[in-house]
């Protein structure tokens, strides 16, 4: 199968993604490249897995490249997933939400790196994942990969722990507005039917939209990720509570 688009999700910031695009376009000058984000929190694999789970279905005929790779240069595998869309990523949990029934390939890093004529121990985005993605778009997977029969690493994402009226979940993503996006799915919240939640003794009533509370007041709602979010209307919930991505503890008010 041929693909006409490549998306990029990384924690690279600037410069590095541009180099990757040069490698991709040298191999396939006709492919479209879409930047999803290069501002994933450094080394935050869970955040990248959460974001990937939430955007990949909005594309067709696309190779999704997702690289947050604390183990770069180690023995961790570079993986291709072949499905309706394709995925190229390190095997470190970033592919948590990809269907287990898909076809998985293991990339031979040295074969992929022949296209850049170097194999850096710190920049596999350029030397391994970029050429791999370009070759996938051209239906040339077998040149650099073989079927993978090993274990795909999966993270504890969308798996809340409930004890009484306490919940442990993930603050999976903090957006630029300071909204705390969790991995508690809509269905889970609707089944609980809560009135609100406490985080660090601050009460967040569950509402439908931001304007249901006054300015600078806390609120909880189901956001665009279709998961529970905590916000301050026209404020920054993350800064106010001192919360970044990671485990999040909630008290439910029924």
| Residues 14 and 131 occupy one common structural domain | yes
Structural domain total, the chain: 2
CATH number, position 75: 3.40.50.10790
| Residues 127 and 49 occupy one common structural domain | yes
| Residues 178 and 143 occupy one common structural domain | no
- List, for residues 10-58, the tens digit of each pLDDT value: 999 999 999 999 999 999 999 999 999 999 999 999 999 999 999 999 9
- List, for residues 190-226, the tens digit of each pLDDT value: 999 999 999 999 999 999 999 999 999 999 999 999 9
Residue 156 lies in a domain: no
- List, for residues 92-130, the tens digit of each pLDDT value: 999 999 988 899 999 999 999 999 999 999 999 999 999
| Predicted local distance difference test score (pLDDT) of residue 2 | 82
| Residues 130 and 185 occupy one common structural domain | no
75-95 b/e with 16+ CB inside 10 Å = b? eebbbbbbeebbbbbbbbbbb
Using the predicted structure, report yes or no on whether residue 1 has a pLDDT greater than 80. no
Which of 119, 147, 175 lies at the terminal end of a domain, its last residue?
147
| Residues 24 and 129 occupy one common structural domain | yes
Under the banding of pLDDT at 50, 70 and 90, the label for residue 9 is: very high
| Residues 169 and 208 occupy one common structural domain | yes
CATH number, position 199: 2.40.30.90
**What pTM was computed for the model?**
0.96
| Residues 22 and 140 occupy one common structural domain | yes
Under the banding of pLDDT at 50, 70 and 90, the label for residue 138 is: very high
| Residues 18 and 94 occupy one common structural domain | yes
Domain residue limits at 239: 161-253
Which of 90, 120, 147 lies at the terminal end of a domain, its last residue?
147
| Residues 131 and 195 occupy one common structural domain | no
């Amino acid at each position: 199968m041929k693909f006409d688009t490549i998306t990029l999700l990384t924690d690279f910031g600037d410069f590095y993604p541009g180099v990757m695009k040069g490698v991709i376009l040298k191999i396939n000058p006709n492919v479209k490249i879409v930047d999803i984000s290069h501002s994933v929190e450094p080394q935050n694999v869970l955040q990248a897995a959460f974001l990937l789970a939430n955007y990949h279905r909005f594309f067709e005929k696309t190779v999704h490249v997702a690289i947050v790779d604390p183990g770069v240069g180690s023995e961790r595998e570079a993986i291709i997933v072949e499905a309706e869309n394709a995925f190229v990523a390190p095997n470190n949990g970033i592919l948590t939400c990809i269907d287990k029934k898909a076809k998985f390939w293991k990339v031979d890093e040295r074969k992929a790196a022949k296209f850049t004529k170097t194999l850096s121990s710190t920049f596999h985005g350029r030397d391994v994942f970029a050429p791999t993605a370009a070759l996938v778009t051209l239906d040339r997977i077998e040149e650099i990969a073989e079927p993978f029969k090993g274990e795909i690493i999966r993270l504890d994402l969308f798996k809340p722990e409930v004890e009484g009226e306490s919940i442990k979940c993930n603050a999976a993503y903090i957006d630029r507005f300071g909204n705390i996006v969790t991995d508690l799915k809509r269905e889970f919240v609707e089944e609980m039917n809560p009135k609100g939640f406490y985080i660090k003794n601050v009460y967040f009533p569950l509402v439908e939209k931001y304007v249901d509370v006054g300015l600078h007041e806390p609120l909880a709602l189901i956001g665009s990720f279709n998961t529970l979010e905590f916000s301050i209307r026209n404020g920054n919930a993350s800064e106010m509570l001192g919360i970044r991505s990671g485990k999040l503890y909630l008290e439910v008010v029924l």
